[in-house]
Amino acid sequence: MTTHSATLREEIEEMIAVGELKPGQHLDETELAARFGVSRTPVRETLIQLASMGLVVIRPRRGAIVAELGPQQLVEMFEVMSELEATCGRLAARRMTREEQQSLLAAHQACLDARDAQEPDVYYYKNELFHEAIYAGSHNQFLIEQTRNLYRRLRPYRRLQLRVRDRLHNSYHEHDGVVQAIVSGDGELAAHLLREHVMIQGQRFSDLMASLPQLRQGAA
């Protein structure tokens, strides 16, 4: 993927996640190219990438639209995500090498630094590395691929979650328990904590949904 396309993907992901680009909305390649000051080629690359993530639907001869992902679908996808990550954590607690544990601890420290700086977007990228360290520690390539695929599809929503009040602090605190469980080899506890960490339900889901109008204004 080109640099232009990688940057555009993040920009358009964010626009979809905050509702600036609404479900079912047509995505005009020429308009997007003009908006971002690029040619249509990186825009087309980006839309293809977003389609592979399930965020965009490309229809033959009719162009691309934003995928219609309702609240119920989000809940269902996070439910599956929580089980995949729980399995990664359970296996990582049994299989991680000492070097991999050190990588996990380093990622955890980087999350702490971002939390203390109150930088939710920086925290998000460090958070990605944290979760990726757990996936790698599972030593199950098929599981890693499936988990990454769903992570990419939920990426905009996981990033927005971190902007909800107190979520940075709570996320780091939850990470801390996961790290301790994995390093001590307690697979069942690691699985339980990761399941609770990822699953978005009840108050957490309500907080995220309630924040969307404010986030939409911020993206305007």
Residue 180: what pLDDT? 98
Domains and CATH numbers, the chain: 3-66 (1.10.10.10), 71-211 (1.20.120.530)
With 60 as the cut, is the pLDDT of residue 2 above it? no
**Smallest Cα–Cα separation from 14: which of 42, 38, 46?**
46
For 157-214, how does the pLDDT look when each residue is reduced to its tens digit (9 = 90+)?
787 778 777 889 999 999 999 999 999 999 999 999 999 999 976 777 787 777 666 5
> How does pLDDT run across 29-62, given as a tens digit for each residue?
999 999 999 999 999 999 999 998 888 999 988 8
Better-predicted residue by pLDDT, 75 or 103:
103
Q: Give the alpha-carbon dihedral of 134, 135, 139, 145, to 10 degrees.
A: 180
| Residues 6+ positions from 42 with CB-CB distance below 8 Å | 2, 4, 5, 8
